[in-house]
Structure formats: C-alpha cells, structure tokens
Amino acid sequence: MIGIDIASSKRFGTISKKDFKHWSKWYTKREWDYCFTFAMPAERLASTFAAKEAVIKAFEKKVKLGDIEIRRTQNGGPKVYIKGKQSSKVVVTITHDAGIAAAVALLKNV
C-alpha cells in the first residue's frame, strides 16, 4: 500500500516551542525538539505531520498518529518508528518547498 499526504507550512507558522503540551498528541518530544532545531520549524512540523499521515494511509488506518514517530538518520533521512520500534515494513520520503510539505509512505510486503 502507498500513502501520500501534503501539509501547508503556513498552518504551523504560529506554533512556538513552548506549545508542545498542546501538540503532544501529534508529535513526540523527539520530533518536536528536532523541528525546533531549524530556523523555520514550521516547515519541519508540516513535513513530519505529512509523513505521519502518509504512514497512516499506507497502513489503511490500522495505526494511530500517536503510535508513529518519524526519526532522522545521521544523513537526515526519515525512519519510521511504530510504538517505539523501527518499522521494517514502511519507508517514507519527505519534501518541502514554497510552503508546502509532502510525504509518501510505502508499505512493503515483508
């Protein structure tokens, strides 16, 4: 299965790092901290959200947003974790440009 999602960075533009408690249903602390290491965290918040939504669609909604964590490799590539464990079943790619973030998730036959 394939999942795809897009998100507007504008939607996340007014969020500040201190707002984590409000957004903790959507982001893990690790994701939140990662996004706010960048000068424009809204792009990272949008792309992380899009990636999580794409994973949900690839799994045909059998996983919940709060169960998914998008971590980064040393090279910055995304890795999917489900309930704290790295998933070998799904790969994801993320891009963002001109205020739009997009992600595609591919559920592999394992």
**What is the pTM (predicted TM-score) of this model?**
0.93
Residues 6+ apart with CB under 8 A from 31: 48, 69, 70, 71
- Mind listing the pLDDT tens digit for each residue in 53-79? 999 999 987 899 999 999 999 998 999
- Domains of the chain, by residue range, sit at 2-107
| Residue 110: predicted pLDDT | 58
The full DSSP string for 73-109 is -TTS-EEEEETTEE-SSEEEEEEEETTEEEEEEEE--
Q: How many CB atoms lie within 10 A of CB 1?
A: 12
Torsion angle in degrees (nearest 10) through CA of 84, 88, 90, 92 = 80
Class of domain 2-107: alpha beta
- Report the chain's mean pLDDT, rounded to a whole number: 95
